[in-house]
């Protein structure tokens, strides 16, 4: 197993489908076709299987954009010494602390449901679940201004598995090297709630309605739009007319004050 650098841009999708000979959405659609999961679901709608497989694949692919490093940071928040360093440096711009973490495992599980609609009629739902584990050791983090501003060293083995309709669609493992200082721009936020498997919300894809005009371009670029309730970003996000539930956890997100509101199509 080769070793790669773990940067902010490496996603679950990269681990699962980085070596696939086709695009991730095509690989997912092929997996759905081979399993017969979708064709069984839409059996009463002749001739739509491949189109539905393609659309379901796109929905699932959109939820694989989670950064592996973001998952690591969520797990690191359980270490009291790291959070203590974040608090000590939060109000002191000149403070810089180095924190060494013991060998540890971080586990993440995110179940969600995809509702399949054909000509506006429900054909049923597909249950999917993404499970990721990160086995880490020799991790040394630099903390400034309440954030992780660099990872000086560390080793990590990441295992990711995607299950659709209680059948494993794909499972991959990758080895990552954190050796050498890795700059992290403005840093990775430590303050705020931690995303855990227990608190991970089920993302339910629903038929797009006609929401009010307080939808704006998605600030995290994970989707096309996200709903602003007047005081904060909500869990509702949208891509290509589909509304999903996707909580923003532990991230600083700019307000939509300089954005133009949009109305989603029916």
Q: Where are the domains of the chain?
A: 4-189, 206-248+256-265
CA distance 259 to 261: 6
Number of CB atoms found within 10 A of residue 255's CB = 12
CA distance 104 to 112: 27
Q: Is pLDDT larger for residue 106 or for residue 257?
A: 106
pLDDT digits (tens, 9 = 90+) for 107-132: 999 898 888 888 778 888 889 999 99
Q: Where are the alpha helices (DSSP H) in the chain?
A: 12-17, 24-35, 37-41, 49-62, 68-76, 80-90
CA distance 128 to 133: 17
CA distance 225 to 124: 26
Identify the pLDDT of residue 162: 96
Say which DSSP state 77 is in.
Answer: T
pLDDT, mean of residues 185-211: 42
CA distance 116 to 42: 9
pLDDT, mean of residues 76-81: 90
Identify the pLDDT of residue 100: 95
33-37, 41-45, 137-141, 261-265: lowest mean pLDDT where?
A: 261-265
**Which among 51, 239, 68 is positioned nearest to 76, based on CA atoms?**
68
Residue 104 region, left (φ>0) first, then alpha (ψ -120 to 50), else beta?
A: beta
Q: How many CA atoms lie within 13 A of 114 on its CB side?
A: 24
217 φ/ψ angles, rounded to the nearest 5 degrees: -55, 135
For all residues of the chain together, what is the average pLDDT? 79
Q: Is pLDDT larger for residue 3 or for residue 261?
A: 3
Contact (Cβ atoms closer than 8 angstroms) between residue 64 and residue 13: yes
pLDDT, mean of residues 16-43: 91
Q: How confident is residue 200, by pLDDT bands cut at 50, 70 and 90?
A: very low
- C-alpha distances in Å from residue 165, one per residue of 9, 26, 127, 169: 29, 18, 5, 9
Identify the pLDDT of residue 182: 62
């Amino acid at each position: 197993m080769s070793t790669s650098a773990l940067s902010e841009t490496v996603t679950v999708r990269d681990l699962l489908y980085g070596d696939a000979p086709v695009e991730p959405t095509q690989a997912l659609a092929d997996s759905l076709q081979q399993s017969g999961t979708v064709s069984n679901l839409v059996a009463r709608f002749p001739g739509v299987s491949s189109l539905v497989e393609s659309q379901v694949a796109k929905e699932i692919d959109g939820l694989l954009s989670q950064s592996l490093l973001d998952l690591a940071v969520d797990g690191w928040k359980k270490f009291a010494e790291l959070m203590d360093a974040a608090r000590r440096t939060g109000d002191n711009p000149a403070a810089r602390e180095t924190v060494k973490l013991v060998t540890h495992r971080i586990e993440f599980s995110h179940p969600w449901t995809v509702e399949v609609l054909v000509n506006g009629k429900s054909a049923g739902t597909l249950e999917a679940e993404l499970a990721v584990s990160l086995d880490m050791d020799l991790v040394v983090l630099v903390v400034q201004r309440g954030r992780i501003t660099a990872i000086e060293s560390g080793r990590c083995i990441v295992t990711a598995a995607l299950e659709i309709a209680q059948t494993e669609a794909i499972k991959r493992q990758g080895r990552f090297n954190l050796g050498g200082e890795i700059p992290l721009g403005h840093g990775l936020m430590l303050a705020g709630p931690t995303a855990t498997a227990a608190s991970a919300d089920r993302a339910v894809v629903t038929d797009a309605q006609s929401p009010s005009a307080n939808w704006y371009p998605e600030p995290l670029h994970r989707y096309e739009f996200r709903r602003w309730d007047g005081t904060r970003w909500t869990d509702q996000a949208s891509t290509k007319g589909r509304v999903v539930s996707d909580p923003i956890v532990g991230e600083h997100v700019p307000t939509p004050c300089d954005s133009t509101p949009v109305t989603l199509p029916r």
